[in-house]
Structure 1
Amino acid sequence: MKKYLLSIFTLMLPFLTFAQEAEKGLDEKINDAFMPVATWWEGLVLSTVPIGEFNVPFVVILLVAGATFFTIYFKVPSITKFPLAINTVRGKYDEIEGGHHAEDKVAVNIVDGDLPDTIRDESKEGEVSHFQALATAVSGTVGLGNIAGVAVAIALGGPGATFWMIVCGLIGMSTKFVECTLGVKYRDVGEDGTVYGGPMYYMSKGLKERGFSGIGKVLAVIFAILCIGASFGGGNAFQSNQATVQITSMLGLEGGSNGFIIGVILAVLVGIVIIGGIKRIASITEKIVPFMAGIYVLAALVIIFANFSDIGTAFGLIFEGAFTPMAGLGGFVGVLIVGFQRAAFSNEAGAGSAAIAHSAVKTKYPASEGVVALLEPFIDTVVICTMTALVIIFFNIDGGNMQSVFQYGAAGESASSVLLNADGSSIGGVDLTSMAFDSVIPGFSYVLTIAIIMFAFSTMISWSYYGLQSWKYLFGKGKTADTVYKVLFLVFIVIGAAATLDAVIKFSDAMILALVFPNMIGLFFLFPKVREEMAKYVSAVRGNKE
């Protein structure tokens, strides 16, 4: 334990020295260095294509076009396969999976978070049950994207952005179904039973089957590089940033190097888990996070029912704002883009990252996990993001005044904040959500702070696994390579905590969305394989019923 703590302290020492020498506050100095990189990368990834009078980011076109195509091709699986998904995740068809039961417990050794003693037969080439795979993936997506990300969407795009987030979630269910089916089909299983899966593997192996070996390898390498970057950004820096914002707000801390100090503390805690390999902390977090998510959803429901008379007004604003945006919001396409970007950041459908977690499932029917995975965007975006949006919209309604607290689309100090009418101060992200909850449940911001820290912590751990899998794909499975990645991951926790939300969200958005490029190309090559796997699974289910 001591050597791991010493390693983390040694890592942070240059930052501490830098802090003493800096004329500006360290937070400001880190942000000044980080902002140009974030802005350049965002501009590159969100390069636009002129469509009529609008300039639409090409990545959004690719995301929407791909999700729409898969929705039509697979006959709206978000509806037609929904009952099958529910039955699969609750274990109704475990018998056709080779006798595997979700409740079965096997005595295993845990090595670096993996279960190497998994029984090696076709039905057990994996490490977790359907429910556990879904829970793992959801833990990496349900969190600050639902709390802070929705606030950013409404701050920028108004209530109408919520509508497009829901649409993106519904069609994104089809994309998630495709990528997670492929993730299981083309995964690698090591000699010790450890599973290695994700877009890197279905691109390289799947495209090789189709006679495009060279293209597959190039796409796999590009994806792995971008996934590492995404783990540093959306899966890390954004989480530490919003956790820091909530902590400093609750404690009344301003300026100086508070973000840096909190970032160092968070990095030490995460480092103990991912470097020291202490599984007990991770297992406790795994139990606490669903509990905190339950409290968050329950509180949101309390506020929704407390404002029951305004539900019609709120949904009216959502639908009206989706097609006839208020002045200053950048028009219809602007609201659509904001909604889709925030939804993509929240549920990661099309990014391919969740396929890494779903690949570890115990099954001999890849499509069985594909249908389970389509529940993820529904839970994350359609249900939880909509709840958060309603809470914020209620907060901004006072009698007949639909913008009583802040003006929708009125940018403050940054592109992700809003100006409060009362005193002209600027807030954004998690602060806005926190104020909305506090307005109905006084003191809930303290509970929300704990929830946010736990969400951030669990998401960082989940994404460290995604990034590490990509790192292993590029640099091998040695301990030295692993340690280098983990050290870099911890550095970005500090950067995220010290930088502004504007800089962090630019970088994080761009990193998550950049994954769409190689992943979607791979999916377009391989989607016929998903149809074959789906036919096999449906046939097996029908045979089981008979």
Structure 2
Amino acid sequence: MSLGSLAPLANPADQVGWLSALEDGIDAVFKPITEVFSTIVFFPITIGEISFPFVVAWLIAAAVIFTIYFGFIQFRGLGVALDVVRGKFSKPSDPGEVPHFQALTSALSGTVGLGNIAGVGASMALGGPGATFWMILAGLLGMCTKFAECTLGVKYREIHADGTVTGGPFKYLPVAFSKFGKWPAKILTGIFAAAILFFGVAGGNMFQANQTFAQIQNVTGGEDGFLGSVGAAFIFGIVLAALVAAVILGGMKSIGATTSKLVPSMAIVYVLACLVVILTNLSNVPDAFASIINGAFSPEGMAGGVIGVMIVGFQRAAFSNEAGLGSAPIAHSTVKTRRPVSEGFVALFEPLVDTVLICTMTALTIIIAGAPSFGEGMAQVQAGGATPDGVTLTSDAFETVIPWFPIVLAIAVALFAFSTLITWSYYGLKAWGYLFGESKVSEIIYKCVFLFFTVAGCVLTFGQVLTFADAALFVCAFVNLLGVYMLLPVIKKEMKEYLADRKSGKLYDLGEEESELAETNR
């Protein structure tokens, strides 16, 4: 869930002089730091006329290597994954906080969001219809990355006396890096935790709060509506923070219960709307698929040719589903299970839903509807102009068939942002706990800080801070994937044993003795 290529930020601070001065001052301090940091994190690789960040190559290379190493498990393991998410091998006594389905929806709520709607539209204007093909391929490869990191998230998790769980990279990275020595392991894991925490408070919180306010303000009359007055953003922020508090104060069980209802509902409404547009333009479907295939392999007129379109598609997928960044294993580690790899199978669905389904439906809708702004946006990019607002492209596509849908889209964007916000509050909490301790007092302090910045996000934008946070998120990819590489044999052993037990029927009848043994081995 990168923040790039999304809608412009609302800036209520412009209405109040001292707030605007505060924002400008903080941005001025962060600007030189952000420029240096972003240059390092997004260090470009140049192929011909095309440049792309090294971190994208790092993410895609890992996905390809993991796919080969695990024997294309994302394809042959989908049947197992479906059985697991339905609870076929689960028992109420399994250790953990939430069922498989709630762990999945909690993780999905952190990835399915504005990038699926706005980011796809912008990336298509940049790479044309052919970017969709490479986006799908990258999503399929990313499934294996999620499988690997989420298995480790459960494998090395810690279950506390009160039943709550701490897992994810905070637990498996120290194990992976222990061969470097105690202090290097602590430092590398600390860097990961600091990056996750910073992004959680800024990108996963302030940005989402800002976009929620911007979308609601837009459908209620804009700056001329009742949310356009001075002080409206602050009041909205207080209300939003109260709603967030009502969810996050209940911990992971409350977050899981909320996202298990919110995420499927949002996804169904959005996909159904896409299907309405597609079915209404059914005669255009063959041409749309032809343009995707042709654009992927013979993109005349696209800067950078096939390589350029491929990179745009891969980059959109990598930035959307977060495979390899280490965020999803934090949510998945709370699952109720005795077999770590079971949640790895469940995690296969995350890129499948986020990238292969929702991002692809958005792309097809834009192509098939033939929204005028899409062609204009591509022409604008090819002429050397800025990438257009992706939300506008997507909204225009829906409007060609459902004139009133932009209102529904605005509400959907707000709900997507809200679900992302509450999930990232949990990711940030676990990072905070690693850095400052996991006491009740520490947890309360974190939640107060998080809710404060929820309100601040509605009032201020801090553009440079958000850019810094976006780069910080991808620091996690370097650290996390390095750790996963070191623990690949552990994952493969878990996978082989689990598949063998499923084939022999042991997963259906796990006795008490075997349960205790599995818990000890874990």
Partner of 1:422: none
2-structure distance, mates of 1:252, 1:166:
37
In structure 2, which of residues 188, 205, 209 is the aligned counterpart of residue 240 of structure 1? 209
1-structure distance, mates of 2:19, 2:464:
21
Query: Residue type of the partner of 1:142?
Result: V
2-structure distance, mates of 1:285, 1:541:
29
Pair 1:127-2:97 in alignment: yes
TM-score (norm 2): 0.83
Query: Residue type of the partner of 1:526?
Result: L
Q: CA contact under 8 A between 1:235 and 1:460: conserved in structure 2?
A: yes
1:447-484 deviations in Å (ceiling 9; x for gaps): 22222211111110001100111111111013443344
Pair 1:460-2:421 in alignment: yes
2-structure distance, mates of 1:326, 1:262:
49
2-structure distance, mates of 1:146, 1:220:
29
Q: CA deviation at 1:514?
A: 2.2
State which drifts further: 150-159 or 64-73.
Answer: 150-159
Partner of 1:362: 336
Determine what percentage of the aligned residue pairs are the same residue. 46
Pair 1:146-2:116 in alignment: yes
In structure 2, which of residues 278, 287, 294 is the aligned counterpart of residue 304 of structure 1? 278
State which drifts further: 389-398 or 501-510.
Answer: 501-510
Partner of 1:72: 68
State which drifts further: 240-249 or 536-545.
Answer: 240-249
1-structure distance, mates of 2:390, 2:331:
27
State which drifts further: 129-138 or 253-262.
Answer: 253-262
> Judging changes above 3 Å, is the alpha-carbon distance between structure 1 residues 220 and 29 closer, same or farther for their aligned structure 2 residues?
closer
Q: CA contact under 8 A between 1:260 and 1:497: conserved in structure 2?
A: no
Higher relative helix content = 2
Instruction: For 1:249-288, list aligned pairs within 5 A.
Output: 249-254=218-223, 264-265=234-235, 267-273=237-243, 275=245, 279=250, 287-288=261-262
State which drifts further: 338-347 or 195-204.
Answer: 338-347
Gapped regions of structure 2 (runs ≥ 5): 1-10, 509-522
> Judging changes above 3 Å, is the alpha-carbon distance between structure 1 residues 386 and 263 closer, same or farther for their aligned structure 2 residues?
farther
Pair 1:224-2:193 in alignment: yes
State which drifts further: 380-389 or 481-490.
Answer: 481-490
Query: Residue type of the partner of 2:325?
Result: A
RMSD (Å), alpha carbons? 3.6
In structure 1, which of residues 152, 172, 180 is the aligned counterpart of residue 142 of structure 2? 172
Gapped regions of structure 1 (runs ≥ 5): 1-14, 95-99, 105-118, 419-427
- SS of aligned partner of 2:284: helix
2-structure distance, mates of 1:501, 1:150:
24
Q: CA contact under 8 A between 1:181 and 1:369: conserved in structure 2?
A: yes
Partner of 2:406: 445
Pair 1:410-2:384 in alignment: no
> Judging changes above 3 Å, is the alpha-carbon distance between structure 1 residues 86 and 504 closer, same or farther for their aligned structure 2 residues?
farther
> Judging changes above 3 Å, is the alpha-carbon distance between structure 1 residues 454 and 544 closer, same or farther for their aligned structure 2 residues?
same
2-structure distance, mates of 1:224, 1:259:
39
Q: Say how many residue pairs are matched.
A: 492
- SS of aligned partner of 2:97: coil
Query: Residue type of the partner of 1:188?
Result: E
2-structure distance, mates of 1:179, 1:28:
39
1-structure distance, mates of 2:153, 2:357:
25
- SS of aligned partner of 2:490: helix
TM-score (norm 1): 0.80
State which drifts further: 292-301 or 428-437.
Answer: 428-437
2-structure distance, mates of 1:318, 1:27:
43
> Judging changes above 3 Å, is the alpha-carbon distance between structure 1 residues 403 and 468 closer, same or farther for their aligned structure 2 residues?
closer
Pair 1:528-2:489 in alignment: yes
2-structure distance, mates of 1:263, 1:461:
19
Q: CA deviation at 1:175?
A: 0.4
1-structure distance, mates of 2:30, 2:233:
15
2-structure distance, mates of 1:79, 1:376:
14
1:480-516 deviations in Å (ceiling 9; x for gaps): 4334433543455466556779868745542332211
1:83-123 deviations in Å (ceiling 9; x for gaps): 111121112233xxxxx0xxx5xxxxxxxxxxxxxx6xxxx
Pair 1:163-2:148 in alignment: no
In structure 2, which of residues 427, 435, 450 is the aligned counterpart of residue 474 of structure 1? 435
Pair 1:82-2:78 in alignment: yes
Instruction: For 1:253-402, list aligned pairs within 5 A.
Output: 253-254=222-223, 264-265=234-235, 267-273=237-243, 275=245, 279=250, 287-327=261-301, 329-396=303-370
- SS of aligned partner of 2:381: strand
2-structure distance, mates of 1:451, 1:17:
25
Partner of 2:107: 137
Q: CA deviation at 1:408?
A: 5.1
